[in-house]
């Protein structure tokens, strides 16, 4: 079982995205790469992952060691405990943003417009068995 | 509580004075009583107290005996953000119960700067007039030459006549003049006291507008200004960092359209369809990428959720979420440009966009079912524009629709009129967020999403201080309890007065009020005040004949739908039981004597 935000996990997740018709439909016009950030709940270092999403597909995805090397159009960050809730379906990305559990950098217009695509992206994480 | 008269002494944060205007020319100044300020704070709390005492519940909404109150609050005009909010209150001609509508712009602040906490308007004029208020009092002026004009021109005409730099105007359009039951009041060209038809009450009184200016600014004294400012600093930081505030600034309230559709919260095709695949064609995101020029907002607000758009070289105000949904998805109109044009017409004629959107969608629905042929079909933009005009001037079938959905439903013996107590259902769906069922059914002004905003609670907003937490947006369990609590707390926004979009915590709200007024407020005390005001308004409605049987939802919003609401239907009966129990109301929906005594408003039981 791949560990959350490991290279193996990201690889399987990218595969799940690219196999999803729902995502392809919901994110038909989407253009924008993401830096996802998992902040530790207490001590420790943050985890980073980069995924390039384009017209309903993920063009590439990898674990990031040095975020200063990445210049993504969007950044979505939150605490590990909130990521767990998100992946368990207890909150969805828009609710997470509205309630301040996640922070977003990048075009608000794009993200709000693709609210459904964001939800599908989260739903797809369920296809990846995850070790926390 | 001993409140024997309207008199009082000098108070922090308040202007200490209320203006009482009778349209027969009698104008009085009354001092604000300290007890009243402590017990009802301001805004719709104080207005409810005065209007109850004046027994306006006994009279017809269009009669000379109805009274219009407009109140700001103790935070208005201070440095506290987004507090230029004015509460217009009266008996509603649409619902024939308690009516209130909250509006932004500059007027609330300017009224305070002119030295007034509120204005009470009585009587009826036989000729068109407008009221001009400044620090010296009020003047009733002729509105000849202004009567008959749309809101935009009327505002310009009044501005031209008064020629004051620091001026704020509120006007009605032709809809208000012609007593369309959901006529609104337009403030400062862009903001609207939309709900419950108080624009029509002004129309019945022959008041075309109200103008407020000040020359020397009334100095607002703050009880503890350093603590007050500290609290404001913390709140401003919170606003700066808040996702929803940033979303409102960038995209306006219509930034929520796509998310609403995803949750099943966006009403579609007169509440009968669960999805709308054109949502992103009419959203705030789309507006930002097309017609948007800039954003603007109410006096002293950094969020600035207002939209300023350009269309054919003309700069006008753009529609917000409720208008986009009630004329867009609800009527299957998917063209943003048309919605901007429709919004302009509604503003100019002065009609509440929720009520008019719902009533026109109902006409489409009735026509489709051959119940009555209004000659209008889904998505018919030109037909909609024509109906807006016909409603404003009560021409042809427009005269039927001008009465609101409840009366339309009655006329055609149809049970699918989307309203509660006569107020049209707004653009949030109880099937998406279950607690909206009881929130609408038992709301004091009928189906309304404000100020409680239970959809936020269903999306994860927690107010732990009052145990307001929802774990599951579809479940009905405990929703009666949390809704009652949220409604109590939310009353404070309309008293303070502060915009409901401010992400303030109860402790911050209590502290702001405490440091501003010097009154010993805390989290529990402000909650009790909110509960007191909520029950006072309920007692007003009880006097109007409201009982448990009126706390219901129409069946049109209780049919399961595919889409984001996942065929959920809220259990209103369960919620209602919990709600009455939490409120300690009888099975008939009447607050018990014990409850009223606890809230120190048992005097509402005295025979009138
Ligand atoms: S958030 Fe919008 S409605 Fe509220 S005070 Fe600011 S501009 Fe006015």
DSSP letter at B591 equals B
Q: Distance between CA B228 and CA B80 in Å, rounded?
A: 8
CB contact under 8 A, A99 and B280: no
Give me the residue label for tokens 């507008």.
B209
Burial B13-33 (b: 16+ CB within 10 A, else e): bbbbbbbbbbbeeebeebbbb
For the stretch B113-128, pLDDT in tens is 999 999 999 999 999 9
Residue B315, strand partner residues? B310
Q: Distance between CA B399 and CA B552 in Å, rounded?
A: 27
Q: Distance between CA B400 and CA B398 in Å, rounded?
A: 5
For the stretch B327-380, pLDDT in tens is 999 999 999 999 999 999 999 999 999 999 999 999 999 999 999 999 999 999
pTM over 0.80: yes
Do B155 and B138 meet the contact criterion of CB atoms below 8 Å apart? no
Contacts of A108 in chain B (CB under 8 A): 246-247, 250-251, 255, 285
Strand, coil or helix: what is B469? coil
Q: Is the CB of B242 under 6 A from ligand 1?
A: no
**What's the half-sphere exposure (Cβ side, CA atoms, 13 Å) at B459?**
23
Lowest mean pLDDT segment, chosen from A100-114, B23-37, B198-212: A100-114
Residue in chain B lying closest to A116 (CA): B262
- Is the pLDDT at B65 greater than 90? The verdict is yes
- Is the pLDDT at B3 greater than 90? The verdict is no
Q: Which of B460, B462, B470, B474 to mutate to test the interface with A (most CBs of A within 10 A)?
A: B460
pLDDT given for residue A43 in this prediction: 87
Q: Is the CB of B82 under 6 A from ligand 1?
A: yes
What distance in Å separates residue B336's CA from the closest CA in chain A? 14
Q: Distance between CA B195 and CA B398 in Å, rounded?
A: 19
- On whether any CB of chain B is under 8 Å from the CB of A37, the answer is no
Lowest mean pLDDT segment, chosen from A106-110, B28-32, B452-456, B571-575: A106-110
**Cis status, amide bond into B497, omega within 30 of 0:** yes
For the stretch A10-46, pLDDT in tens is 999 999 999 999 999 999 999 999 999 999 999 889 9
- On whether any CB of chain B is under 8 Å from the CB of A84, the answer is no
Q: Which residues contact B18 (CB under 8 A, 6 or more apart)?
A: B6, B29, B30, B31, B32, B116, B117, B118, B119, B120
Q: Which of B285, B291, B336 to mutate to test the interface with A (most CBs of A within 10 A)?
A: B285
For the stretch B233-282, pLDDT in tens is 999 999 999 999 999 999 999 999 999 999 999 999 999 999 999 999 99
Largest CA distance in chain A: 40
The fourth-level CATH superfamily of domain A7-124 is SCP2 sterol-binding domain (3.30.1050.10)
DSSP letter at B33 equals P
pLDDT given for residue B608 in this prediction: 62
Lowest mean pLDDT segment, chosen from A108-122, B21-35, B164-178, B367-381: A108-122
B93 C-alpha vs ligand 1 centroid, how far in Å?
27
CA B101 vs CA A116, A120, B90, B179, B322: distances in Å: 33, 39, 9, 17, 15
The pLDDT-based confidence of B8 (bands split at 50, 70, 90) is very low
CA angle at B245 for the pair B239 and B249, rounded to the nearest 5° = 120
- Is the pLDDT at B159 greater than 70? The verdict is yes
For the stretch A109-118, pLDDT in tens is 999 999 999 9
Strand, coil or helix: what is B453? coil
Tell which residue, B247, B268, B251, B331, has the closest CA to residue B564. Answer: B268
pLDDT given for residue A1 in this prediction: 86
Q: Is the CB of B298 under 6 A from ligand 1?
A: yes
Q: Distance between CA B278 and CA B336 in Å, rounded?
A: 10
Tell which residue, B276, B254, B255, B260, has the closest CA to residue B562. Answer: B276
Give me the residue label for tokens 């739908």.
B561
DSSP labels, B506-546: HHHHHHHHHHHH-----HHHHHHHHHHHHHHHHHHHHHTT-
CB contact under 8 A, B460 and A116: no
Retrieve residue B269's tokens.
């095709």
Do B82 and B303 meet the contact criterion of CB atoms below 8 Å apart? yes
Q: Whose CA is nearest to atom 2 of ligand 1?
A: B305
Angle between the N-to-C axes of helices B523-543 and B43-53, in degrees from 0 to 180, rounded to the nearest 10 = 40
Average pLDDT for B306-328 = 97
Indicate the fold that domain B436-605 takes in CATH.
Answer: 1.10.599
Q: Where are the beta strands (DSSP E) in B390-498?
A: 419-420, 423-424
- ipTM score for this prediction: 0.87
- Is the pLDDT at B458 greater than 50? The verdict is yes
Task: Give the atom of ligand 1 at the shortest distance from the alpha carbon of B500.
Answer: 4
A43 C-alpha vs ligand 1 centroid, how far in Å?
39
Q: Distance between CA A118 and CA A96 in Å, rounded?
A: 11
Phi, psi of B320 (to 5 degrees): -105, 180
Do B180 and B338 meet the contact criterion of CB atoms below 8 Å apart? no
Average pLDDT for B195-203 = 98
- Is the pLDDT at B7 greater than 90? The verdict is no
Q: Where on the phi/psi map is residue A130: left (φ > 0), alpha (ψ -120 to 50), or beta?
A: beta
Q: Distance between CA B419 and CA B28 in Å, rounded?
A: 39
CA B386 vs CA B339, B375, B383: distances in Å: 14, 11, 5
Domain B254-414 coded CATH 1.10.569.10: yes
Indicate the helix (H) or strand (E) that contains B151.
helix B151-162
Q: Distance between CA B17 and CA B367 in Å, rounded?
A: 52
Q: Give chain B's mean pLDDT.
A: 97
Average pLDDT for B162-181 = 97
Average pLDDT for B166-175 = 98
Domain spans of chain B, in order of start: 17-213, 254-414, 436-605
The fourth-level CATH superfamily of domain B17-213 is Aldehyde ferredoxin oxidoreductase, N-terminal domain (3.60.9.10)
Task: Give the atom of ligand 1 at the shortest distance from the alpha carbon of B245.
Answer: 1
């Amino acid at each position: 079982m791949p560990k959350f935000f490991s290279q193996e996990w990201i690889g399987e997740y990218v595969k799940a995205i690219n196999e999803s018709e729902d995502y392809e439909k919901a994110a038909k016009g989407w253009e924008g790469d993401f830096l996802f950030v998992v902040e530790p709940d207490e001590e420790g270092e943050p985890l980073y992952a980069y995924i390039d999403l384009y017209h309903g597909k993920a063009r590439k995805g990898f674990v990031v060691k040095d975020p200063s090397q990445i210049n993504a159009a969007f950044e979505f960050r939150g605490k590990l405990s909130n990521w767990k809730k998100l992946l368990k379906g207890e909150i969805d990305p828009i609710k997470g943003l509205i309630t301040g559990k996640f922070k977003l950098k990048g075009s608000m217009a794009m993200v709000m417009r693709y609210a459904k695509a964001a939800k599908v992206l989260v739903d797809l994480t369920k296809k990846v068995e995850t070790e926390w | 509580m001993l409140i024997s008269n309207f008199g009082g002494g000098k108070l922090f944060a308040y202007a200490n004075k209320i203006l009482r205007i009778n349209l027969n020319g009698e104008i009085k100044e009354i001092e604000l009583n300290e007890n009243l300020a402590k017990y009802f704070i301001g805004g719709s709390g104080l207005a409810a107290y005065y209007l109850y005492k004046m027994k306006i519940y006994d009279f017809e909404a269009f009669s000379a005996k109805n009274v219009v109150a407009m109140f700001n609050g103790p935070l208005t005009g201070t440095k506290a953000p987004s507090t230029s909010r004015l509460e217009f209150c009266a008996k509603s001609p649409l619902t024939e119960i308690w009516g209130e509508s909250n509006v932004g712009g500059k007027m609330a602040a300017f009224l305070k700067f002119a030295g007034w906490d509120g204005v009470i308007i009585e009587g009826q004029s036989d000729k068109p007039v407008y009221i001009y208020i400044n620090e010296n009092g009020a003047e009733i002026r002729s509105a000849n030459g202004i009567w008959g004009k749309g809101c935009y021109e009327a505002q310009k005409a009044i501005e031209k006549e008064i020629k004051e730099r620091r001026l704020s105007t509120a006007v009605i359009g032709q809809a208000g003049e012609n007593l369309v039951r959901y006529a609104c009041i337009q403030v400062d060209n862009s903001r609207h006291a939309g709900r419950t038809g108080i624009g029509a009450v002004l129309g019945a009184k022959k008041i075309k507008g109200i103008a407020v200016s000040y020359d020397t600014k009334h100095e607002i004294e703050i009880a503890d200004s350093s603590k007050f400012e500290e609290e404001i600093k913390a709140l401003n930081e919170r606003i700066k960092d808040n996702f929803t505030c940033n979303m409102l600034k960038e995209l306006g309230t219509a930034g929520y359209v796509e998310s609403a559709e995803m949750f099943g919260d966006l009403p579609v095709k007169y509440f009968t369809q669960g999805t709308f695949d054109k949502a992103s064609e009419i959203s705030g995101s789309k507006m930002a990428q097309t017609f948007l020029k800039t954003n603007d907002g109410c006096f002293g607000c950094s969020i600035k959720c207002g939209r300023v758009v350009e269309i054919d070289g003309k700069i006008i105000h753009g529609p917000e979420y409720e208008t986009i949904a009630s004329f867009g998805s609800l009527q299957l109109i998917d063209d943003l440009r048309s919605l901007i044009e429709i919004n302009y017409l509604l503003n100019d004629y002065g009609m509440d966009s929720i009520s008019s959107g719902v009533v026109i969608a109902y006409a489409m629905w009735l026509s489709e079912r051959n119940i009555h042929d209004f000659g209008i079909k889904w998505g018919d933009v030109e037909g909609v524009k024509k109906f807006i005009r016909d409603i404003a001037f009560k021409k042809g079938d427009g005269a039927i629709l001008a009465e609101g959905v409840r009366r339309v439903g009655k006329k055609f013996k149809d049970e699918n009129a989307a309203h509660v107590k006569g107020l049209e259902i707004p653009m949030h769906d109880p099937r998406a967020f279950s607690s909206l069922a009881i929130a609408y059914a038992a709301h004091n002004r009928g189906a309304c999403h404000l100020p409680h905003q239970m959809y936020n609670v269903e999306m994860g907003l927690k107010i732990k201080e009052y145990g307001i937490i929802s774990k599951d947006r579809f479940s009905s369990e405990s929703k009666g309890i949390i809704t009652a609590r949220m409604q109590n707390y939310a009353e404070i926004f309309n008293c303070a007065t502060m915009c409901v979009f401010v992400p303030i915590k109860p402790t911050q709200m209590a502290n702001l009020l405490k440091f501003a007024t010097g009154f010993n407020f805390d989290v529990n005390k402000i909650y009790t005040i909110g509960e007191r005001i909520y029950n006072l308004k309920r007692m007003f409605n009880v006097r109007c004949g409201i009982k448990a049987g009126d706390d219901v939802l129409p069946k049109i919003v209780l049919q399961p739908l595919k889409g984001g609401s996942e065929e959920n239907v809220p259990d209103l009966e369960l919620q209602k039981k919990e709600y009455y129990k939490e409120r300690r109301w009888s099975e008939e929906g009447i607050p018990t004597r014990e409850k009223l005594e606890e809230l120190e408003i048992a005097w509402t039981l005295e025979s009138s």
